[in-house]
Amino acid sequence: MSQIELRLSKVDPPAPEPKRTIYRDIVNLPDPVKLGLTIRYFNYDDVGLYFQITGSGPGYTFGTVNLGLLASGANAYQNLDEFASRAKPSVGDLPNGEMEENITLILRAYTDSGYSNLKWTFERVVTVHWINSADAAFTVDVLNNFDDGTVQGWAETLEAGTGSGTDWIETIAAATDYVLSTPYSLKTKVGGGCDNPLRFRVWKNFTTPNKSKVFAIADVRVGEEVGASPGASYFNNFLIMTASVTLIYLGKPGGGTQDRIPRNKWIRIVVPLAVNTTLELRLVLEASETCFRTYSVLWLDDFKLISK
């Protein structure tokens, strides 16, 4: 029995890992398309081991990432940006707007830092569920592109941070600096203190239709703005969740002086939602800020709720 394990959830062993599905929408994606994800890996061996992650799947090209030393009994998170790529599926590949395929994530553990003496291997099959949100099979129930210059019902709430001082800023508004569909996106700017962590959410209430399937599609971007004094924000993690359930988790817990999620790039995240219910959908960003006038920023554009 392997003494290592790989998970894509926050569920702790020995509870079984839930089935893992990555949802993707082909509309306006580049070709080839890149795949990024956050993994969690475990070392149950009696000694520290050097971990490495790669993958396989028809039509995919995977990178190989050396994760470094993990102590006996420990576990760690790692966000893998642009970990794999494949040719963008065509509209014809998605009959009735959907298609599923499987990829295999391969975790290896070595006894040496040169990754030459392999001790354990663990594989996990992950389903990739493609959708075409522009297909006639789907109804677009909500489209928030903010191009009327308003926030279209979205709000911001501070969850952790000082939230005080003359340099503190909390704003949510339509903005033109980074957009996917002109002229506006939604821009939320929070910070200016000395916070570790700084955590805020952008949220909106929705009533989902009584259909078989409902998906939320969010295009998001994180970055920083520097005020009168130079500083830095470091981005720890990003979540999409309801008031009680985490639907997607990217990054790592805790603070630090390095990014754990990608910055300055648009990322598309697709999540299935419960049907025929009212819920608060939350986009949650956690960052660490130095003690200067630095502001953590979250952009959102072309948010869609679709159903079939």
Q: Could you read off the pLDDT of 98-117 as tens digits, one per residue? A: 999 999 999 999 999 999 99
Q: Which residues pair with 251 in a beta bridge?
A: 237
Q: pLDDT by residue (tens digit) across 172-191?
A: 999 999 999 999 999 999 98
Q: Where are the beta strands (DSSP E) in 49-194?
A: 49-56, 60-62, 65-70, 75-86, 98-110, 118-131, 139-144, 155-160, 169-175, 185-191
What's the mean pLDDT in 123-127? 97
Q: Kind of pairing, strands 267-272 and 278-289?
A: unpaired
What's the mean pLDDT in 283-296? 85
Candidate from 14-18, 85-89, 191-195, 249-253 with smallest mean pLDDT: 191-195
pLDDT value for 28: 95
pLDDT value for 169: 87
Q: pLDDT by residue (tens digit) across 210-251?
A: 999 999 999 999 999 877 566 688 899 999 999 989 999 999
Say if residue 86's pLDDT is above 70.
Answer: yes
Average pLDDT taken over every residue of the chain: 94
Structure tokens at 161: 């941070």
Q: Which percentage of the chain shows pLDDT scores above 90? A: 82
What's the mean pLDDT in 243-263? 89
Domains of the chain: 4-131 (2.60.40.10), 139-307 (2.60.120.260)
pLDDT value for 193: 74
pLDDT value for 230: 61
pLDDT value for 257: 80
Q: Do residues 191 and 289 lie in contact, with contact meaning Cβ atoms separated by under 8 Å? A: yes
The structure's pTM equals: 0.94
